[in-house]
Amino acid sequence: MKLTARFPMLVLIWLLFALAVPACSMTEVRELPEPRSGVVTDLAAFEEFIALAPTPEEFRQVYPDVVLILPGDIATREFRTDNSRFFADLDAQERIIGGSFQ
């Protein structure tokens, strides 16, 4: 009889645990490179950073001086040769997976 009284409590504890585990993984803290001021001059380091699939916020933290253009943003198409503006391609989780300087 005591087991049946504890069963609902055990189910409740299990459900709370099951809900807490995914929430912990959603607040993932990733180690990012140090912020790099100015335009992108080291393309190899930039490509390594993009390979991490950063979020737009992470991109802006690491490259604060590079203008990030996301899909759907309105931007002019003037020709720039200094790697100061990056047009990003996003995946389904809205992480940057590629793009080009324009």
Structure tokens at 98: 């590629």
Pairwise CA distance, residues 88 & 5, whole Å = 56
Pairwise CA distance, residues 48 & 40, whole Å = 13
**Contact by Cβ (8 Å): 81, 40:** no
Q: How confident is the model at residue 3 (pLDDT cuts 50, 70, 90)?
A: low
Pairwise CA distance, residues 37 & 64, whole Å = 6
**Contact by Cβ (8 Å): 87, 50:** no
pLDDT above 70: residue 4: no
- Domains of the chain, residue spans: 2-101
Question: Between 24 and 36, whose confidence is greater?
Answer: 36
Question: From edge to edge, which strands make up the β-sheet containing 85-90?
Answer: 67-69, 85-90, 96-101
